[in-house]
Amino acid sequence: MTTFLGLPGRPGRPGSRQSPSEPPHAPRGVGHLRAADPFPVAARRALADAQLRRNLSKATTTIRAKRAAVVSELPDWEELRAAGEAIKAATMADLDRYLGQLEVAVTARGGTVHWARDAIEAGNIVTALVQAAGATEVVKVKSLATDEIGLNDALAAAGIAAYETDLAELIVQLGHDRPSHILVPAIHRNRSEIRDIFLREMGDVSPDLTDDPAALAEAARQHLRRKFLSATVGISGANFGVAETGTLCVVESEGNGRMCVTLPQTLITVMGIEKVIPSWADLGVFLQLLPRSSTGERMNPYTSMWTGVTPGDGPQSVHLVLLDNGRTAALADPVGRAALHCIRCSACLNVCPVYERTGGHAYGSVYPGPIGAVLSPQLTGIEDNASLPYASSLCGACYDVCPVKINIPELLVHLRARHVEEARRTHRLPSAEAITMAAASYLLADPGRLAAAQSASRSGRLLGRRGKITALPPPLAAWTRARDAPVPPPQTFRQWWHSQHGDDRGGPAPGDRSDRSDRSDQ
Amino acid sequence: MSARDEVLARIRAAARTGAGKAGTASSPAAPSPGPRYRTRSELAGPQLLELLASRLTDYRALVHFASAATLADEIGAALQRRQARRIVVPPALRLPLPSFVTAISDTRPFLSPAGLAAVDGVVTRAAVAIAETGTIVLDGSPGQGRRAISLVPDYHLCVVDAGQVVHLVPEAVARLSAGRPLTWISGPSATSDIELERVEGVHGPRTLEVVLVSG
C-alpha cells in the first residue's frame, strides 16, 4: 500500500473559494447531501445508542467475512481491481466523449436522454415525465442518485406518490427514517424493530407477524405485489451505462428492480454522469468486482440490462436523465476526482472502524462512510461538509478493499488540506489550529521553553478526574469536544530524569540520542 | 445554453483544470496490452457443468442433469413435483412438455402482469450460463420470451444446454449481444436487507429449477 499521508501540500487548484469559471456544487436546500449537524456532534449522539452499535457490529462483521471469502476465490482479483481503476480513470479523462456516445446510442434505440445541471432540474424533469405519462404513483427501485437529489420530495410536492420497493428502502420509508448504508439502508434496524415498523405502517399485515426475516420478506412481497402489477411508471438509477451500446444496467437481489424496469409502460432512469463506462466488455470487469465487494456474493441474484426500447418487451417509453449536481466540481480536482470512480459497493463502509461505531446517519449524506467522507464534501463544496474529511482514523482499510482502488486515505488528507487552505483564505482571524501550530513551533524550537511548558502542563492535573480531562479550556477546547485528554503525569520526563540521575547533564549514555534536544538550529 | 451543452462545457473546463496526475486527457491513448484478468476458460466439458451445478445449488437453485433422451422425463418430473398445471411458455420453446400441463404460449395479445401472476410457473431456455458464478442469462430470444414471463410467476424452470455454459463472466459478456434485453439470474429472488441474513424469496420467482442438458 502506498497511501500518501504526508503533510498537506499545495491546494489542488488556485483561486479562492469557487470562482465563476469553476463548475458549481450541488445546490443547498434540496436533496440529501448535507448534514444538519457536523460529524462530531452527530457521532456523539450515535455512540450513545447501544442498540445501534450492536446492530452495526453484527452486520458489518457478517458482511466482512462474506466478502473476504468470495474475494479469495478469484485468482485474478488484483488484476480485476487494476482493470476497474484503469477503466474509471480513462472514463473520467474523456467523460464528455463517452456521455455523447451514450446519448447517441440510447437515442438510436428509441430512448430519450435528458440532462440535468443539478438536483432541482432533475426533479423537474422527472416530475414532468411522470405527469406526461398521466401517473400519480410511481414504483422505485433503490437508487442513491434519486435519494441524493431528494426526488421523492419533489414528486410529493407535485402530488405524485413514490413507492420504494427495495426491502430496506421500504423499511426506511415506512419508518419515516433516513438510509444509513449504501447497500443495506436499514442496517441500523434489527429484525424486531422492522417487525414493529411493518405492524405499525403497512395496514394490510397480519398482527401475528413474527420477526423471522423470511416472514418479514413475505410481508413485503404481499404489500408491494399489487403496486408492481398495476404501476405505469417505474423509476430507477443505474449501476452502469455503456457508452458503446447505450445499455443501462441495474444490479439487485430481490426482483423489485426487475419489476420496476420491466412491467411499467414508462421507465425513467436517473444516472450520475460518472456512471458511464466506455465499452460493453467493461461489464465483464465490473460484474465481477461489484457483487463480491457489496453483498459478498459471487453474483447478485438479478441483473437487468436494457438498451433503449425493445418492441413488445418491457417499457415502450424509456428515459435517461444524466445528472451533474456537483460531479463536475469534483472532476475539476485532479486528486479528488478519483472519488467519482466509486461503484457504490459499500465495502469501505463495512471495514471502517469509524462507520462501524457511528453508523451512517452521523455522516448526514446519502453517501456515508469513507467514500461519503470524500465524495459528499466535493459535491457540496467543502465548507458545507467540512467535518467529514476528518471523520477517519486514516487506517487505510477502505483503500485495501476498494474494488476500483480509490485511495481514500490520500483523498481525505487532500481534502483536509483544501479545507485548511480555504479557511485560511476566507477567514480574517487565524484558526485555533493555526494558533496551536504556531505555539508548538515556538516551544519546540528551544529546549528551555519546552521544559518550562512541560512543567507548566502539570497544572492540567487540576482539571482531570480518574485520569481523564473531558473538557479543556479555550483555545484547546476543540480538542476535547471529540475526545478525552489524558491527565498529565505528576512529573515530566525531564524531572524524572533528574530525580534518577541527579543534575548530571554530562555526556549521554551510549545510544542515547537525547542530546538532539540541545540543538538550537531548528 | 441548454443543460446538455452546459454540463458538457463544465466537463471540458474541469478536464483542463483537473486533468489527472498523468494528464491522460491530452495524451494519445496508449496501446492496450489486453486484459490481465482471466478472459478464457480453464475448464471444459463435465467439469464446467459440475461447477455450474454446485454454484447454482449454493444459492438454493434446484439442479438436475439430463441427456437428450431423459430431458422429457426430467421436465415432467419437475413440473409434477411442483404440481404445476397451468404454465406460461415463450414462443418457439421446442421442449417436450408433459400432457398434464396446459401450456399458455406468450403471444399477442400478451398476458397482463396480473394474468402472469395467476399461472403456476414458467418454462424457458437460456442464452448463456456462467459456471463460476452460478448465473443463467436470458436474452429474450425465441425460447426465452419477454422479460415479464420469467419474472412474475413464482416458479421458473430453465433448461440450459451444455454448449451454452461458459466458465467466466467475461466469456459470457463476449457471447451476449448488447442490443437484447438481458436478465442475469443467480438463484431465486433473495434479500440480505435484514441483518445481512440471506433470505430466499421476495419479489421474483421464489423457486428456480434448472435442467442441464448434455449429450
pLDDT in tens, A215-243: 999 999 999 998 999 999 999 999 999 99
In angstroms, the CA B176 to CA B153 distance is 25
Question: Which of A325, A341, A366 marks a domain boundary?
Answer: A325
Contact flag A221-B202 (C-beta cutoff 8 Å): yes
Show the domains of chain B with their CATH numbers. 42-213 (3.40.50.10420)
**Residue A255 placed within a domain:** yes
In angstroms, the CA A270 to CA A286 distance is 20
Q: Which of A111, A98, A57, A31 is nearest to A320 (CA)?
A: A111
Q: Is the pLDDT of residue A470 over 90?
A: no
Whether residue A265 is found in the same domain as residue A345: no
Here the cell at position B209 is 429449477
Question: Which of A394, A426, A458 marks a domain boundary?
Answer: A426
From A306, which residue of chain B is nearest by alpha-carbon distance?
B181
CA distance B90 to chain A (A): 12
Contacts of A481 (CB under 8 A, 6+ apart): A40
- Burial call A53-67: b when 16+ CB within 10 Å, e when fewer: bebbeebbebbbebb
Backbone angles phi, psi at A268, to 5 degrees: -120, 120
Whether residue A130 is found in the same domain as residue A201: yes
In angstroms, the CA A356 to CA A46 distance is 11
Q: Do residues A304 and A271 lie in contact, with contact meaning Cβ atoms separated by under 8 Å?
A: no
Question: Mind listing the pLDDT tens digit for each residue in B114-157?
Answer: 999 999 999 999 999 999 999 999 999 999 999 999 999 999 99
- Pick the more confident residue, A188 or A97: A97
Please compute the mean of the pLDDT values over residues A373-382 and round it to a whole number: 97
**Residue A14 placed within a domain:** no
B60 touches chain A (CB under 8 A): no
Element at A447 (helix H, strand E): helix A447-457
Contacts of A133 (CB under 8 A, 6+ apart): A232, A233, A265, A266, A317
Q: Is the pLDDT of residue A301 over 80?
A: yes
Q: Is the pLDDT of residue A520 over 60?
A: no
Whether residue A272 is found in the same domain as residue A364: no
Instruction: Quickly count: other Cβ atoms within 10 Å of residue B9's Cβ.
Output: 14
Whether residue A126 is found in the same domain as residue A137: yes
Whether residue A103 is found in the same domain as residue A233: yes
Question: Mind listing the pLDDT tens digit for each residue in B43-54?
Answer: 988 999 999 999
pLDDT > 70 in chain A, percent: 91
In angstroms, the CA A69 to CA A287 distance is 17
Here the cell at position A339 is 472519488
In angstroms, the CA A124 to CA A142 distance is 20
From B181, which residue of chain A is nearest by alpha-carbon distance?
A306
Q: Do residues A115 and B7 lie in contact, with contact meaning Cβ atoms separated by under 8 Å?
A: yes
Whether residue A245 is found in the same domain as residue A163: yes
Q: Do residues B29 and B111 lie in contact, with contact meaning Cβ atoms separated by under 8 Å?
A: no
Here the cell at position A135 is 401517473
Q: Is the pLDDT of residue B91 over 80?
A: yes
Backbone angles phi, psi at A269, to 5 degrees: -115, 125
Q: Which of A247, A260, A269 is nearest to A319 (CA)?
A: A269
Q: Give the pairing type, strands A247-252 and A240-242.
A: antiparallel
Q: Is the pLDDT of residue A12 over 50?
A: no
Scan residues 332-371 of A and list those with Cβ closer than 8 Å to B: 332-335, 337
Whether residue A263 is found in the same domain as residue A409: no
Q: Give the pairing type, strands A317-323 and A266-272.
A: parallel
Instruction: Specify the range with the lowest mean pLDDT, choosing from A51-65, B24-38, B191-205.
Output: B24-38
**Residue A309 placed within a domain:** yes
Q: Which of A204, A391, A240 is nearest to A320 (CA)?
A: A240
HSE toward the beta carbon, residue A387, CA cutoff 13 A: 18
In angstroms, the CA B83 to CA A277 distance is 45
CA distance A464 to chain B (A): 41
Instruction: Quickly count: other Cβ atoms within 10 Å of residue B82's Cβ.
Output: 17
Q: Which residues of B touch A263 (CB under 8 A)?
A: 113, 148, 151-152
Q: Is the pLDDT of residue A15 over 60?
A: no
From B112, which residue of chain A is nearest by alpha-carbon distance?
A229
Contact flag A217-B11 (C-beta cutoff 8 Å): no
Please compute the mean of the pLDDT values over residues B87-102 and round it to a whole number: 97
**Residue A520 placed within a domain:** no
Round the CA-based radius of gyration of chain B to a whole number and report it.
Answer: 22
Whether residue A130 is found in the same domain as residue A266: yes
pLDDT at A435: 76
Contact flag B8-A300 (C-beta cutoff 8 Å): no
**Residue A1 placed within a domain:** no
pLDDT at A88: 98
Question: Mind listing the pLDDT tens digit for each residue in A314-338?
Answer: 999 999 999 999 999 999 999 999 9
Contact flag B190-A253 (C-beta cutoff 8 Å): yes
CATH of the domain at A362: 1.10.1060
In angstroms, the CA A321 to CA B185 distance is 27
Whether residue A180 is found in the same domain as residue A152: yes
Contact flag A93-B205 (C-beta cutoff 8 Å): no
Question: Mind listing the pLDDT tens digit for each residue in B99-114?
Answer: 999 999 999 999 999 9
Here the cell at position B21 is 496526475
**Residue A364 placed within a domain:** yes
Q: Is the pLDDT of residue A146 over 90?
A: yes
- Pick the more confident residue, B189 or B162: B162
- Pick the more confident residue, A88 or A458: A88
| CA distances from residue A187 to A58, A190, A354 in whole angstroms, order as listed | 10, 7, 15
CATH of the domain at A214: 3.40.50.10420
Q: Is the pLDDT of residue B22 over 50?
A: no
Q: Do residues A224 and A170 lie in contact, with contact meaning Cβ atoms separated by under 8 Å?
A: yes
Among partner residues B114, B170, B202, which is closest to A255 by beta-carbon distance?
B202
Q: What is the mean pLDDT of chain A?
A: 89
- What is the CA A116 to chain-centroid distance, rounded? 22
Whether residue A458 is found in the same domain as residue A393: no
Contacts of A432 (CB under 8 A, 6+ apart): A474, A475, A476, A478
**Residue A174 placed within a domain:** yes
From B175, which residue of chain A is nearest by alpha-carbon distance?
A281
Whether residue A159 is found in the same domain as residue A289: yes
Band of the pLDDT at A513, cuts 50, 70, 90?
very low
Q: Do residues B170 and B39 lie in contact, with contact meaning Cβ atoms separated by under 8 Å?
A: yes
Q: Is the pLDDT of residue A132 over 60?
A: yes
pLDDT at A475: 66
Q: Do residues A455 and A495 lie in contact, with contact meaning Cβ atoms separated by under 8 Å?
A: yes
Query: Chain B interface, mutation test: which of A140, A191, A218, A221, most B Cβ atoms within 10 Å?
Result: A221
pLDDT at B18: 64
Q: Which residues of A touch B205 (CB under 8 A)?
A: 255
Q: Do residues B102 and B86 lie in contact, with contact meaning Cβ atoms separated by under 8 Å?
A: yes
Residue A349 is part of which domain span?
Answer: 39-53+328-426
pLDDT at A486: 82
Here the cell at position A289 is 468486482
Question: Which of A376, A411, A426 marks a domain boundary?
Answer: A426
B153 touches chain A (CB under 8 A): no
Q: Which residues of A touch B135 (CB under 8 A)?
A: 299
In angstroms, the CA A117 to CA B169 distance is 36
Please compute the mean of the pLDDT values over residues A121-141 and round it to a whole number: 98
B191 touches chain A (CB under 8 A): yes
**Residue A179 placed within a domain:** yes
Instruction: Specify the range with the lowest mean pLDDT, choosing from A133-147, A402-416, B27-41.
Output: B27-41
Cis peptide before A40 (omega within 30 of 0): no
Indicate the residue type of A282. D
- Burial call B131-169: b when 16+ CB within 10 Å, e when fewer: bbbbbbbbbbeebbbbbbbbbbbbbbbbbbebebbbbbb
pLDDT at A465: 75
Whether residue A451 is found in the same domain as residue A309: no
Please compute the mean of the pLDDT values over residues A195-223 and round it to a whole number: 92
Scan residues 251-280 of A and list those with Cβ closer than 8 Å to B: 253-256, 258-259, 262-263, 273, 280
Indicate the residue type of B95. L
Here the cell at position B148 is 415479464
Q: Do residues A125 and A321 lie in contact, with contact meaning Cβ atoms separated by under 8 Å?
A: yes
Contacts of B25 (CB under 8 A, 6+ apart): A93, A94, B15, B19
Domain count, chain A: 3
In angstroms, the CA A149 to CA A123 distance is 7
